[in-house]
Amino acid sequence: MVRRIAITFALAVMAGCARAQAPAAPPAMVGAWRSNVQFEDGAFAAVKDLQFLYVFNAGGTMTESSNYDGMPPVPPAYGEWRATGTNQFEARYTFFSTNPPKDLPSLATGGGWSPAGYGALTERIQLAADGRSYDSKLSLEMFDTAGRPAPGGAQASAHGVRTGF
């Protein structure tokens, strides 16, 4: 009986001294990225220097901003992302769009950039084997303020690189 208690005690002590498992590494997309985006059709096809900055968070949320966010005033996009396969990811993010003011004097009286609806981007990402760059295909859908499909959809390709120190 004493021997059984001693063995049980020894096993309990050893179990308490076991090393905790290291936390799993974050998915490969987590971090900050910069991409060059080229729309193949639609209103943005003529823009040849469009760039996106992204932050992919470990919890599956993301933020995107472009070098054209100020033309017309458009806030950053917010969304979610997920892994879909080995080095493959999908991101879906939304931005609000605005209507231009009716005339210049209306800006002084608060009649500026009113809501016009929103755009939704779906991006399918293929991460390079080294985890430092990716290529992707984007699909843009536009919606009016009531959430109905609106003109302006388009397709694009992008190449992104991880940013860092």
- Mean predicted confidence (pLDDT) in 94-105: 87
Reading the block at residue 64, the tokens are 């995107």
How many CA atoms, within 13 angstroms, populate the side-chain half-sphere of residue 89?
22
**pLDDT at position 10:** 47
**pLDDT at position 109:** 82
Q: Is the pLDDT of residue 165 over 90?
A: no
- pLDDT, tens digit (0-9, with 9 covering 90-100), for 123-134: 999 999 999 999
Question: CA 46 from chain center: how many Å?
Answer: 24
Please state, rounded to an integer, the average pLDDT across all residues of the chain.
86
CA atoms of 53 and 86, how far apart (whole Å): 23
Domains by residue range for the chain, with CATH: 31-162 (2.40.128)
The helix (run of H) or strand (run of E) holding residue 116 is strand 114-127
Structure confidence at residue 74 as a pLDDT band (50, 70, 90) = confident
Structure confidence at residue 114 as a pLDDT band (50, 70, 90) = confident
Q: Is the pLDDT of residue 8 over 80?
A: no
Positive or negative torsion for Cα 64, 164, 39, 112: positive
Determine if the pTM surpasses 0.85.
Answer: no
Q: Which has more confidence, 73 or 60? A: 60
CA atoms of 144 and 121, how far apart (whole Å): 15
Q: Is the pLDDT of residue 163 over 70?
A: yes
How many CA atoms, within 13 angstroms, populate the side-chain half-sphere of residue 157?
3
Q: Which has more confidence, 140 or 43? A: 140
